[in-house]
Amino acid sequence: MLDKIKELTQTIEAFSIDSKEQLEQFRLEYLSKKGKITSMFDGFDFKTVAPEIKKSMGQEMNKLKVLAQTKFEEIQEKLNAGGADNNTHQKIDTSLPSIPNELGGRHPISVVREQIYTVFERMGFSLSDGPEIEDDFHNFTALNFPENHPAREMQDTFFIERNPDIVLRTHTSSVQVRVMENQKPPIRTISPGRVYRNEAISARAHCMFHQIEGLYVDKNVSFADLKNTLYHFSKEMFGKDTQIRFRPSFFPFTEPSAEMDISCFICNGKGCNICKQSGWVEIGGAGMLDPNVLTNCNIDPKVYSGFAFGMGIERITMLKYQIKDLRLFTENDVRFLRQFKHAE
């Protein structure tokens, strides 16, 4: 037995290892469960050995195992560090230029959202947030939506199947309801976030998009305050030469209500394909809060009044960067996103 241990020791010491393939061959031949060292331990019966040599025999066998294990670990460390010449490791050419570690860029939606928030922050508006999964009261009822209003129908809203009173919010106005419920006037806040509509996805529509809505509630708030707020925002966001106009409209939660247009800053109002030759581009809706909305939020409409407005962040981003397909915002195409790496 001692002769066999001596023979294996010499073989292990002479085993040449210059690659990971040879290292794996060494492990399988000597250290694996079916390797020579393991087989020797399993096949040797210490009961047949005389007591006076049993101890020395065990020590020699352990030395053999330690020798093989040590050689395996040392060569493995060298190969992993690239210290050995082998076919799987190429030498490093220090004369080659380094690979640049490029940083990613911000998504255009994030850039424009922060720009909008910065403008309103300077006007004293705070930032508010709320859940994207809402109940019927905060998403519809509190905002003066009648039970038979089309927005409640399945073709517009994503309802939770097991609970028809729970929906994916269709606007961030639900956040404004929560703010009015938990905060006493004066209130001046904006609510950016994702919203969901059950619509077919196309170049101009999507089932998920971003809105930013504003709210101002205080004593003696008038439509003139609303116009001046949006007038200032348009000048800051789109340029000092931007004009603004309001067209009568209808929203259940505001009265009077209006659609808001800005003069096309691409053609300076002369007419182009972006503004459909009209010289004007719609960016959102606005109006004075309906007294029923204030009442639903436990605010006395005889004492307080307010206005609300909302706009789509995708729409503003498309106008600002002349993007013609809404789907590009959610496709994660690196070729598209790289264009906004240095956007401010």
Residue tagged 């998920």 (tokens):
208
pLDDT at 185 over 50: yes
Alpha-carbon span 318 to 336, nearest angstrom = 13
pLDDT in tens, 190-224: 999 999 998 888 887 889 999 999 999 999 999 99
Give the model's pLDDT for residue 16.
Answer: 80
For residues 44-49, give the mean pLDDT. Answer: 63
pLDDT band of residue 84 (cuts 50, 70, 90) is: very low
DSSP 98: P
Give the model's pLDDT for residue 149.
Answer: 76
Other C-beta atoms closer than 10 Å to the C-beta of 285 total 21
List the end-to-end C-alpha distance of the chain, in Å, as a whole number.
Answer: 79
Q: Do residues 190 and 214 lie in contact, with contact meaning Cβ atoms separated by under 8 Å?
A: yes
Task: Give the residue, 335 or 155, on which the prediction is more confident.
Answer: 335
pLDDT in tens, 239-268: 888 888 999 999 999 999 999 998 887 777
Before 186, cis peptide (omega within 30)? yes
pLDDT in tens, 109-128: 999 999 999 999 999 999 99
- What are the φ and ψ backbone dihedral angles of 280, each rounded to 5 degrees? -130, 150
